[in-house]
Amino acid sequence: MLTIGLTGGIGAGKSTVSRRLVELGAVLVDADAIAREVVAAGTEGLAEIAEAFGPEVIGPDGEMDRARVASIVFSDDKKLAVLNGITHPRIARRTQELEAGAPPDAVVVYDAALMVEQGNQSRFALVVVVDTAEEIRVRRLVESRGLPEADARARIRKQATDAQRRAAADALLRNDGSPAKLVAQVDRLWAERLVPFEENVRLRRAIRGGTPLLADPDPAWAARGERLAARAARAAGAVGRGVAHIGSTAVPGLPAKDITDLQLTVDSLAELDGVADRLAAAGFVEIPEITQDNPKASDPDPAHWRKRYLGGADPAQRVHLHVRETGSPAQRYALLVRDWLRADPAAREEYLRLKLAAAAEFARDGDAARYVTRKEPWFDTAAPRAEEWAARTGWVLPGPDRSGEEPVLG
């Protein structure tokens, strides 16, 4: 099973996408419908709301008087918290029920207009955002839904911005063209990404190998690192001591293989077993053969350089998740080298020259394993220099980019 999130600003075409995904075989979980269902006429949820705010919140037809409830909680945060305390757990329970009831090989699509506003994006293995220029959205809302233009604009202003939604997107579907063009993008996403991703998660298959082609540095790598770190941190939950974006894509301006390296810190590597299923559901699958970093001269005991290693299951987004123990030299080294390379242009240049030479050699002999081993001696000699830089600049181990958060649903 794979659970993905789908969102988009009002009028972007989200409903059109979710309809097509259902036609292709996805199981839809509709956040709006669930939010209505848990406070529908005759429900326990609605009874609790009436108890909290008075019987007049129930209309003559037995349904909740939404306008009245909205006016009660509108400018009163305490009352809003009471309302959320009634609805959110029920929404979460119902959502989990629907997800649990889906077949084991299902692609579950959680369709939520306010996913980004509510900070739920890191709950999903993949987030799909339907992205449409605001003027086009306004025109479509006016023409096909009969919404007055001022209302359409007011609703758009109340939502997250396009840039905020794009930062949350693992896959972006542009809907500035014809409906047929949108559907064609959905069909490709389904066949080339969602179906193989689901299978990889179910069969616990990480994407491996790939050629060491260096890509030009992409300013979007930082946001992608942040997104994937948030996802891993959420999946690791209380076992995680934070996730950081490490490796070459975490160093702005450095050409790199287009792979996000992340470091998940845990107090003990054995604790990972307890969250392996959650990490797999989030798209991170363990590669059990890899258990070790190369010890550096400062601490040659291999036992101090143990790690666990997970690869991404998303065929369109490569990621390596290195799991290392709090306070281990391996955990420190990854962060130290990242920060040293970020700070020292000469070190960066030197490392880049080595990468380019290794990549050129790979182009000649096609030996990907050697590409990795060829860089090792440089890292050995870099370690004391990075330490020297740390002592000189007063570097201390930085906190994680992301730490675990509790899921919020609503």
What gap in Å lies between CA 393 and CA 326, rounded to an integer? Answer: 23
45 annotated ligand-binding residue = no
Of 146, 135, 117, 116, nearest to 175 by C-alpha is 135
Q: Are 87 and 118 in contact (CB under 8 A)?
A: no
347 annotated ligand-binding residue = no
- Residues forming contacts to ligand ADP in the complex (CB under 6 A) are 8, 10-16, 130, 140, 144-145, 175, 178-179, 182
Smallest distance from ligand ADP to CB 156, Å: 10
User: What b/e string do you get for 343-374 counting C-beta neighbours within 10 Å, with b at 16 or more?
Assistant: ebeebbeebbebbeebbeebeeeeeeeebeeb
Residue 18 vs 249, nearer CB to ligand ADP: 18
Residue 146 vs 300, nearer CB to ligand ADP: 146
Could you give the dihedral angle defined by the CA atoms of residues 29, 33, 36 and 40, in that order, rounded to the nearest 10 degrees? -90
Smallest distance from ligand ADP to CB 125, Å: 22
What gap in Å lies between CA 175 and CA 283, rounded to an integer? Answer: 27
Residue 75 vs 178, nearer CB to ligand ADP: 178
311 annotated ligand-binding residue = no
Q: Compute CA distances 127 → 142, 166, 317, 390, 394, whole Å.
A: 28, 10, 12, 38, 39
240 annotated ligand-binding residue = no
Smallest distance from ligand ADP to CB 165, Å: 11
Q: Are 291 and 308 in contact (CB under 8 A)?
A: yes
Smallest distance from ligand ADP to CB 253, Å: 37
Smallest distance from ligand ADP to CB 177, Å: 6
What gap in Å lies between CA 262 and CA 344, rounded to an integer? Answer: 21
Fill in the amino acid letter for 38. Answer: V
Please give the order of strands across the beta sheet that includes 260-266: 240-246, 260-266, 319-325, 308-312, 284-286
Residue 140 vs 320, nearer CB to ligand ADP: 140
R_g of the chain, CA atoms, integer Å: 24
Smallest distance from ligand ADP to CB 3, Å: 20
Residue 19 vs 278, nearer CB to ligand ADP: 19
Residue 133 vs 363, nearer CB to ligand ADP: 133
50 annotated ligand-binding residue = no
328 annotated ligand-binding residue = no
Smallest distance from ligand ADP to CB 354, Å: 48
Q: Compute CA distances 315 → 147, 190, 283, 394, whole Å.
A: 40, 12, 10, 41
Tokens of 32: 């709006």
Residue 147 vs 275, nearer CB to ligand ADP: 147
What gap in Å lies between CA 402 and CA 250, rounded to an integer? Answer: 14
Annotated binding site for ATP: 11-16
Annotated binding site: 11-16
